[in-house]
Chains A and B, each alone.
Chain A
Amino acid sequence: MRKPLYVFIGCVMVTAGFFLALTWQLPGSDEVSTLIGPRLWPLMVLVLMLVFSVLLLIQTRRKASEDVDAESAPSTSNTAAEQPGRWRALEAYRHWLLLALVIAYTVGMEAIGFLPATVFFTLLATWVLGARQLRSIVLTTFAGALMVAVVFDALLNIPLP
């Protein structure tokens, strides 16, 4: 878990630094008619964010040096890689496939309308999530389309694309 934590700390520091530079360009107290300008609050927040991320970096590095022995212990095997089955390759990237489907659904809602987009999305998403029986795929698709049509369109009168 340590490497993702370092990546996170790095991202926070870079982002906070970038917005800090933008914050300096906001009007300060002497440039506006009010006593406190729009710069003070985000400045405080971003400085605190940087301070906490530095503290987290120190804490993580200290823990890393303490846990050197623990890390030399034999690592557990990758259970996902050991799982047998025809759809193993698909399962490894299932979450990204699902995300791609949600993005396609969002684009499709505007392009072909919400109801056809919902039908296509539910069909594919149910299959990507592991359903292989035609009956359950069709039932889920029907439930998804019915929910959008009844709850959002008919009951709540939301002008869907």
Chain B
Amino acid sequence: MIDSLLHGLAVVLQPMNFLILLSAVFIGFIGGALPGISGVILVVILLPVTYGMEPTTAFMLLTAIYASTVFSGLITAILYRAPGTPEAVMTSFDGYPMTQRGEAGKALGIGILSSAVGGMVGTIALIVFTPMLASVALQFSSPEFFALAVLGLTVVASLGGSVLLGLIGAMIGLFIASVGIDPVTGTLRYTFGNLNLASGINLIPIIVGLFAISEVLKRAQGNAPHQTVKKVRIRIFDGAILKKIRATLARSSILGVGIGILPGIGASTAAMVSYSEAVRWSKHPERFGHGEPEGVAAPESANNAAAMGALVPLFALGIPGSGTTAIILGAFIMHGLQPGPAFMSGNGELIYAVFVGLLLVNVMILAFAKPFVAVLSRVLNVPYAALGPIILICCVVGTYSVQNSMFDVWLMLGFGVAGFFLEKIRFPLVAIILGVVLGPIAESELRRSLAMSQGDPSIFFTRPISASLLAVAIVVVTLAIVMPLVKRYRRGANAAS
């Protein structure tokens, strides 16, 4: 492993790769800090650009953006109570009160340090656990892979909002993935004689349309608040503060990794759980919500650790641990790569370069966060009237560039309008992407499994691993449906009493 990491370091330190990594960190910093441009949207906008790159460079760029956006969401959460990313919502609970009492620099320092520590713990867990999990998963056969795909789809249960909407979204995605030539029999499905549809619907127009176009339309409809950054003096290494938050940092980072590795839980949940644990372990729980430093350290270390942890099932099993990792999985497929148990052995250089890149990203967070906040004051002054058209140009030209196809651009616009309307009913759009990404795997493994068993579906329940994975998937979805009903019943009972 050490040799592989050193080789990965050599790849990352190649001048062009290092420059791209550095640029990715800054792009991620800016994107994460601007409310409305989340990590997902940034990854989506840059997906077409990475198509012409070497896979190693492309995934260093995408994962670095992913890691740095999770960090930079804290800046506006602390300064304005406007979290740049959903993962930073909990950070605003104590970060903003610290700003209100003139301790913005202190809160930002704690947030930066916690993010870097959490991110490093998460990356070390990623380096250690990915090969272990992948070697176990090498024993898997078609029924287990089908069960894994089903488990991957249960991420919809954690996307927030209605679970049923998420499930319908996953089905829409699975159906979209079945358009085109059936790879086994060569039968054309739902192409209506259009040759552009024969090879299926490309992932880029779906992702760019659903996320980027719909977001720009949404923001064009509303009046996005325009913010400016105040000048603050940040202190990252403060002995007294470090002593106070070190236990919280350790606990939240480990908790974050554990939660992140579980498919479908996500960094936002990790931040919430670690915050509530920080309150539970604190000698002064009453101070939380009023500017307690541990209230910033807990969610920030946990969400960064969880974001790295969510990459473990992606690399080792080929199932995404969160919404953004679902899009990164789509990017792998777009580059002709299929993450999963056998991926480690055939793509060691890429994987270890990504791992080392992520470690460096966390070092860069520590090194560049302070000067970045100064630069951010200028970027946040750029109005959306200027950012919106640039994003739209990236979407149109980027989508066209993938296959030099205007048909893809029209598809993207169609998905953009659909996404705009779907967001009005708080539809979890990532569910559609999950379906599109996992659909081909699920279908081919289902067919292979049934061929193995001569059409007997009991094969999924007689093999212990596939049975366990399917059981976990059923429990996750059932709990997501039942728990809100139980809560409503309890609320009703309390109101009646």
Interface residues of A (CB under 8 A from B): 1, 4-5, 8, 12, 19, 22, 26-27, 29, 32-38, 40-42, 45-46, 48-49, 52-53, 55-56, 59, 83, 91, 94-95, 98-99, 102-103, 105-106, 109-110, 114, 118, 121-122, 125-126, 128-131, 136, 139-140, 143-144, 147-148, 151-152, 156-161
Contacts and interface: CB of A to CB of B under 8 A. Distances in A.
A118 B184 CA distance: 43
A42 B189 contact: yes
A112 B240 CA distance: 64
A95 B388 CA distance: 11
Given A95-B220, A102-B213, A35 B454 contact: yes
A98 B451 contact: no
Nearest to A46: B175
A126 B168 contact: no
B178 A22 contact: no
Most buried by A among B182, B404, B406, B442: B182
A120 B332 CA distance: 35
Chain B interface, DSSP helix/strand/loop, else mixed:
helix
B165 interface: yes
B171 A48 contact: yes
B171 A45 contact: yes
Contacts of A126: 385-386, 388-389
A5 B168 CA distance: 13
A99 B419 CA distance: 13
Q: Give 4 nearest A-B pairs by CB, closest first.
A: A38-B182, A131-B385, A129-B385, A125-B389
Contacts, number: 179
B424 interface: yes
A152 B396 CA distance: 11
28 contacts: A4-B424, A8-B421, A35-B450, A36-B446, A36-B447, A45-B178, A83-B223, A94-B221, A95-B217, A95-B221, A98-B220, A102-B413, A103-B413, A110-B406, A118-B393, A126-B385, A126-B388, A128-B220, A129-B384, A129-B388, A129-B389, A130-B384, A136-B383, A136-B386, A144-B389, A144-B390, A147-B390, A147-B394
A46 to B, nearest CB: 7
A103 B406 CA distance: 11
A74 B165 CA distance: 29
B388 A56 contact: no
A15 to B, nearest CB: 9
Interface in B380-405: 383-386, 388-390, 392-394, 396-398, 400-401, 404
Contacts of B398: 152
Contacts of A129: 220, 384-385, 388-389
B386 A140 contact: yes
Contact of B217 (A5, A29, A99): A99
